A and B are shown apart, each in its own frame.
Chain A
Amino acid sequence: MSDRLSMRTPLGRAIGLGSAKEGVQHWWAQRLTAVALVPLLLWFVAALIAHLGADRATVLHWLGAPLPAIAMLLLLIAGLYHMALGIQAVIEDYIHTEWVKLAALVLDRFAAFALAIAGIFAVLRIALGG
């Protein structure tokens, strides 16, 4: 390495190359959303079964009520956050070409935000009327 003759200290050269100190935050957010998703998903599956084959008026009536709308919003937020973190881990584990990895990570975040906004907007439009 040409750094041999550099005036920089070993610490100065190492800083920024290792962990970005965000691992714990990622880990914790993944668990937090996981715990939140347990009851939300059980509600979601039961609610979907109860509304199988329902017409639009019935679905709008159901999602228009406060509690189902709130539960669906929570499910979207926790689920898409959980998804973004999980896909990020998959990308980081399997993609080793730097620019492809970066592009995939950006796409992961963009997709999560776009889906979240679209889903939240749809629920709010149904619940608040539009």
Chain B
Amino acid sequence: MLNISGLNDGIVLDHIQAGMSAELAKHLGLDKLDCQVATIRNCRSNKMGKKDIIKIEGGLDVVNLDVLGYFDHNITINIIHNGVITEKRSLKLPKKLVNVIKCKNPRCITTVEPSLPHIFFLTDEATQTYRCQYCEEPANK
């Protein structure tokens, strides 16, 4: 078994779909953080078969929970303090996304006014459909 050193204070993003950690790290901007980040791929999991894990040194404020919730709301967040898990959090689909994804509709006002924030609203929870606030086009993951 691969041994990864423990995290004293920080967060562990658990139950990431296997193979998705790199893309998630990109969307979370983890490469821009000053703290240490460990990405573990293809961990064995009773629940999922295989999963990815990301360990991040630092507080919950270093990750955008809306980004996490949008890309995979099945991820679990473990908060580690003094080497032990002090809290487990599950994610919900965020109702609103601000500058998490961009509208790709060439007819949308955001294509000609780059200073506008890209805002999407969850319009159908069952199908996980998000629509652009401006043109109402659905977002594609």
Chain B binds chain A: no
List chain A positions with a Cβ less than 8 A from chain B. none
List chain B positions with a Cβ less than 8 A from chain A. none
